[in-house]
Amino acid sequence: MLNLKQIKAVTFNSAKNAASDPFYLVLQIGSLLTMLVLACLPSLSEASHVRFVRDQCLSFVFIAGCLGVVFSTIKTVTDDIQRGAGDIMMSRPISPRTFLLGKLCGLFFSQSLFFISLTSAYIWVSEIVHYPADLLYSSMALYIIAVIAGPAIGAFRQAFFNKSFPFFTSLAIPAVMLFGLIIRIVFGYRGDMDFLGLQALLLLFFASLAFAGILLPSAVRFDTPVVLLSGVLIFFLGLFSAYAIESIIPYEKLKTLSLGTVPNWQNYWILDHLALKGKVTGTYIFSCLSQSLLLCGLYLCLAISIFEKREINGST
């Protein structure tokens, strides 16, 4: 039976461990600066500039999001189990279901912080580079200041109050980026911002949640190098799974079943659809969310089964 207090405690601990990882912090800051650089790259034509920026930035968002999931999963799940922290928590006792569900929810929370930063950054840079021949350098300067401000606040807090730097900074960065974006919406050029991309970003967030769920069994069973390899394989499998299943499996019901149990990032990639029709329906967004939750539930059950067998057989 699930214990909500235990799930909440494991979730908080998992989210704090993920957000306190120095690599997570570096990835967050580096992603914000990389997105600005990608947005400033020259496009082939001014007419397709907005679409070019959207494709470049959102492709990077998904790659960075998956990379963040892999290293956060290693930090919060693989390392804990390899160090025996899972065994200690089981002795309290905490059931495998509670333990792994809390870990997965913690990963969701840390990814939410990451995507708040990246979403704010994308909307902001879409204003900066809306006119490729006339970049908004004042807005760009404010953007860079906002990226630096989060770590600066964390460093000031640590220096004068002896408080934790990585975790607070991981919270401060999305807060500062969101605050800066709000300032630009109020005082900047709101009409130049690509709010249409919010739908695509939301679906990419759902895809990253599915990625975290699918990676969980590997994180429970194997050590760091294998988990890294599994993350790479899952990422590329999701790119080609729809085409491969359509080509190999002749039966429609079996195709549907297979597509429902393997990663398929094509369902979450709607940039071509946005370019043609301008929006997607709420029904489609809900179906993608449902697919992500079903994949998380399916692979969570598999991870629980693996973890329970590990507890019976002893640590390997």
pLDDT in tens, 6-39: 888 888 888 888 888 888 889 999 999 999 999 8
pLDDT of residue 316: 46
Q: What is the dihedral of CA 31, 33, 34, 38, to 10 degrees?
A: 130
pTM (predicted TM-score): 0.90
Confidence of residue 178 (pLDDT cuts 50, 70, 90): very high
The pLDDT score that the predictor gives to residue 84 is: 67
Q: Which of 184, 72, 166, 56 is closest to 120 using CA atoms? A: 184
Mean pLDDT of 82-105: 75
Number of H helices, E strands in the chain: 13, 0
Q: Omega before 93 cis (within 30°)?
A: yes
pLDDT at 94 over 70: yes
Q: What are phi and psi of 45, to 5 degrees?
A: -150, 150
Higher-pLDDT residue of 163 and 175 is: 175
In whole angstroms, give the CA distance from residue 30 to residue 202.
Answer: 21
- Mean pLDDT score across all residues of the chain: 87
pLDDT confidence of residue 259: 77
Q: What is the pLDDT of residue 181?
A: 94
pLDDT in tens, 195-238: 888 999 999 999 999 999 999 999 998 899 999 999 999 999 99
Q: What Cα–Cα distance (Å) separates residue 287 from each residue in 222, 284, 293?
A: 32, 5, 10
The sign of the torsion formed by the CA atoms of 105, 106, 111, 114 equals positive
pLDDT over 80 (residue 131): yes
- What's the Cα-to-Cα distance from 135 to each of 36, 55, 182, 228, 278, rounded to whole Å? 12, 19, 19, 39, 25
Reported confidence tier of residue 256, pLDDT bands at 50, 70, 90: confident
Closest CA relative to residue 135, chosen from 47, 58, 60, 37: 37
Rounded distance, CA 139 to CA 128, Å? Answer: 6
Q: Of all residues in the chain, what percent carry a pLDDT higher than 70?
A: 93
pLDDT of residue 47: 64
Q: 88 falls in which pLDDT band (50, 70, 90)?
A: low
- Separation between Cα atoms, residue 290 and residue 268, nearest integer Å: 12
Predicted pLDDT of residue 64: 94
Give the pLDDT band (50/70/90) at residue 313: low
Looking at the structure of the chain, the number of domains it has is 1
Query: Residue 50 is part of which domain span?
Result: 4-313
At residue 280 the predicted structure's pLDDT band, cuts being 50, 70 and 90, is confident
Q: How far apart are CA 295 and CA 247, in angstroms?
A: 22
Answer with the residue of higher pLDDT: 68 or 246.
68
* Predicted pLDDT at 87: 54
Of the pLDDT bands very low, low, confident and very high (cuts 50, 70, 90), residue 176 is: very high
Tell me what pLDDT residue 111 has. 92
Report the pLDDT averaged over residues 130-153: 90
Cβ 53 vs Cβ 126: under 8 Å: yes
- For 62-79, give the DSSP string: HHHHHHHHHHHHIIIIIH
Q: What is the per-residue pLDDT for 230?
A: 94
pLDDT on residue 57: 92
